[in-house]
Structure 1
Amino acid sequence: MRHLPRDHTQTMDQQPTLIILVCYFGRLPSLFNVFLKSCGYNPSICWRIITDDRTPYDFPSNVQPVYIEFGDVQKRFQRHFDFRISLNYPYKLCDFRPAFGLAFDDLVEGFDFWGHSDIDMINGDIRKFLTREIFELHDKVLGFGHMAFYRNTDEVNSAFAANCRFGRKSSSYRLDQLGVLGQKWHSEWANSAAAYERSTQPVHQIIFSNDKYCHFDEWNVRAYGINDLLLDIGKRVYDGREFANLHIPVGHFELSRLTSVASQRPGTPCVFLFKQGQLLRIIAENEELTFDEFLYLHIQKRPMKNNLVGELPDSYLIIPNCFIPVPKELTFKRVKQLGKRCRFYPEYVKFKIRNIKAKLLEKFS
């Protein structure tokens, strides 16, 4: 059994202060308690759950709910802009994430960095991966919507509204860092950047007044976003991909095509182990088990059953579509069987049908 460790020698008094804002409106998902448990294992990081769901939960001491109606959140954003914003449904909040530092200035005050995250995820040991040195050297840490941090300064908090030559610096970076997908769609992305360059409106006004979700908060292989803008105005972006972002079309565990090729492991049987704050992937290959550690697991639209009886344990196994207790013996044969390749995944078919219906409804409405 081979274990790939990571160094973790920093002391907390050297660390920047961090707060993560999670916006969720409507009933919180059934596995919200799993997310909360993983937050509790990162006690030096604060979370604020901005929601209208007042269901009682056992919140860890570093996680606090902020109860607010969606209409009041709309007003928080609108007061910062002299044009009419389009924030008509909760999911559109994703585009507004780069402006969280302004809209929620009362919540982020006093923190060195503020961040945002999704809720369909399990956190690992965040400080182990995002070190003091990374925060010192960068203005934005991580490039995707599921988790990212911004330096809490007036300049960075308002950077989404900056003017620049769109694509001047970001174009070559994308070609180098976004792999085959970035190269495939680069001309479409370049058209997006050129449209912003020609526009008489600033990019944030175009995004924030558009009713559609534009993926402004993260890398988008087809469209210009906040990471591109920050690069183009000379800000420093840390684009580490130490997370496990699941590939939606397959039923087994395979990482998305925007992670490193070595991490994807297409078709290789694997499961994940949450072990008292650590998030480990266990790979069954060549008659042995290999363990590697991740920053977090983004489940990403995948329905998950919970077979954990009673209070959520400190350690559990995550297999495709289910949380289960850790077996007494975690053998090569057992992991290979639990993480075996799924050739047909009906949930993905349902997901595609929902998307097609939504697009047709939008087109003909």
Structure 2
Amino acid sequence: MKTLLILPYFGTLPNYFDLYLHTVKANPSIDWLLFTDDTTPRDFPPNMQVIHMSWEDMKARMQTRFDIRLNLERKHKLCDFKPAYGYIFENHLDGYDFWGHCDPDIIWGNFDRFIDYDKFEGIDKIFILGHLTLFRNTPENNRRFMEEVDDQLRYRHVLTNRLGFAFDEKFDGSINNIFMEHGWPMFTESFAADIDPYHTNFRLSILDFDTQRYRLDGVKRQIFTWEDGHVYRYYIKQKQLVKEEFLYVHLQKRKMALNLTKPFPQRFLINPKSFDSLDEPITIENFNAHYRHYWFNNQFFKVKYNSLKFRLKYKVYG
């Protein structure tokens, strides 16, 4: 089985994107396709194809696939187009069994450890969150975002409106609602370490599919690492060291200092504000030495302030 992850990103890529590429390279069984206007010289791995183009050219390319006037005034609006990538970029999908969309603010773990295609036989949509979702690559499945939900063609409203609707993940007339209403098979379990953006110290944000609400994971003191292509979380429970593996860690709305030099190591710490070297395995004895704790939650105020600036700039009050 072959999978292609599609990532259109316009503007300056995250300062740690070279580290992102380091974790992409560690997953040779998955291919990536990056569309971007960021021409910073980089050592792209063999499993990532890069197409440099302007934002205006991308908007024109996307418009050719629709008979409605798309609203792409804001680059962030691409989030609403993610479920349509299989249709928009269909000419890039020959030979792939699945395609998907993903984000650049991620450190990838090991895909082969989590993506068992035999387990997903008969499943047309794998995962339900915007930072990573996979779709079975068939002409029918690639057009399901156009299907009705609540007796309306929701995509026509979403893709022509300047506001953001989180059409890629929320349960308010999103692609998830379309699949649910039509009874198309989805895999809804998450393998992500989705870091809550409103806490400086790492807390995992977990979406409960049944209630369609987010909650915080109960672990408050934890360490994340990348080790030989795997993402791990460590924490202490009942005086025992617990080690858990995730498919990836998602660092949404978080600035990270890159305290690593090339060539990047095969083991590093993922701290709340930085990527740092790790010269030894995490043990219960050295856990406290590697754990980073911040007493002031400046992350909350940063996110709220940036959200206010965005709303004022684009007059988004709803």
Shift of 1:283: 0.9
Q: Do residues 293 (structure 1) and 245 (structure 2) align? A: yes
Report the CA distance shift for 1:255/1:291 in structure 2 as closer, same or farther (over 3 A).
Answer: same
Query: Which of the residues 314, 318, 322 maps onto 2:266?
Result: 314
Aligned residue for 2:86? 101
Distance 2:281 2:227 in 1: 15
Distance 2:101 2:238 in 1: 39
Aligned residue for 2:113? 128
Distance 2:95 2:297 in 1: 46
Q: Do residues 265 (structure 1) and 218 (structure 2) align? A: yes
Larger radius of gyration: 1
Q: Once the two structures are superposed, what CA deviation does each residue of 1:30-49 show, in whole Å capped at 9, x if it has no partner?
A: 10011111111110111011
CA RMSD of aligned residues (A): 2.2
Q: Is the 8 A contact 1:250 1:343 kept in 2?
A: no
Distance 1:259 1:304 in 2: 28
Aligned residue for 2:18? 33
Q: Do residues 86 (structure 1) and 47 (structure 2) align? A: no
Q: Once the two structures are superposed, what CA deviation does each residue of 1:33-76 show, in whole Å capped at 9, x if it has no partner?
A: 11111111110111011111121111111112111221222122
Shift of 1:270: 1.0
Q: How many residues align?
A: 313
Matches within 5 A, 1:234-273: 234-258=183-207, 264-267=217-220, 269-273=221-225
Aligned residue for 1:218? 169
Q: Is the 8 A contact 1:25 1:51 kept in 2?
A: yes
Shift of 1:336: 3.1
Shift of 1:263: 8.4
Q: Is the 8 A contact 1:114 1:152 kept in 2?
A: yes
Shift of 1:18: 0.3
Query: Which of the residues 43, 55, 58 maps onto 1:73?
Result: 58
Report the CA distance shift for 1:276/1:216 in structure 2 as closer, same or farther (over 3 A).
Answer: same
Q: Which moved more, 1:63-72 or 1:138-147?
A: 63-72
Matches within 5 A, 1:153-168: 153-164=138-149, 166=150
Distance 2:215 2:74 in 1: 38
Distance 2:56 2:268 in 1: 39
Give the strand-richer structure, 1 or 2: 2
Distance 1:72 1:100 in 2: 16
Q: Is the 8 A contact 1:246 1:298 kept in 2?
A: yes
Aligned residue for 1:284? 236
Q: Is the 8 A contact 2:205 2:215 kept in 1?
A: no
Letter of the 2:174 partner, please give it.
Answer: G
Q: Is the 8 A contact 2:109 2:248 kept in 1?
A: yes
Q: Do residues 209 (structure 1) and 160 (structure 2) align? A: yes
Shift of 1:333: 4.9
Distance 2:200 2:286 in 1: 18
SS at match of 2:38: coil
Q: Once the two structures are superposed, what CA deviation does each residue of 1:173-204 show, in whole Å capped at 9, x if it has no partner?
A: xxxxxxxxxxxxxxxxxxxxxxxx4x5xx211
Distance 2:30 2:310 in 1: 37
Distance 1:36 1:357 in 2: 31
Aligned residue for 1:353? 305
Report the CA distance shift for 1:309/1:75 in structure 2 as closer, same or farther (over 3 A).
Answer: closer
Report the CA distance shift for 1:254/1:153 in structure 2 as closer, same or farther (over 3 A).
Answer: same
Report the CA distance shift for 1:205/1:349 in structure 2 as closer, same or farther (over 3 A).
Answer: same
Identity of aligned residues (%): 32
Distance 1:21 1:311 in 2: 26
Q: Once the two structures are superposed, what CA deviation does each residue of 1:227-277 show, in whole Å capped at 9, x if it has no partner?
A: 11012122111111111000112121110142699982342x111111111
Distance 1:98 1:331 in 2: 42
Report the CA distance shift for 1:270/1:111 in structure 2 as closer, same or farther (over 3 A).
Answer: same
Q: Once the two structures are superposed, what CA deviation does each residue of 1:272-309 show, in whole Å capped at 9, x if it has no partner?
A: 11111111111133333211100110011111112223
SS at match of 2:21: helix
Letter of the 2:187 partner, please give it.
Answer: Y
Q: Is the 8 A contact 2:87 2:143 kept in 1?
A: yes
Question: Structure 1: which 5+ runs fail to align?
Answer: 1-15, 167-196
SS at match of 2:70: coil
Distance 1:262 1:72 in 2: 40
Letter of the 2:36 partner, please give it.
Answer: T
Give the helix-richer structure, 1 or 2: 1
TM-score normalised to structure 2 length? 0.92
Letter of the 1:204 partner, please give it.
Answer: Y
Letter of the 1:292 partner, please give it.
Answer: E
Aligned residue for 1:335? 287
Shift of 1:124: 0.7
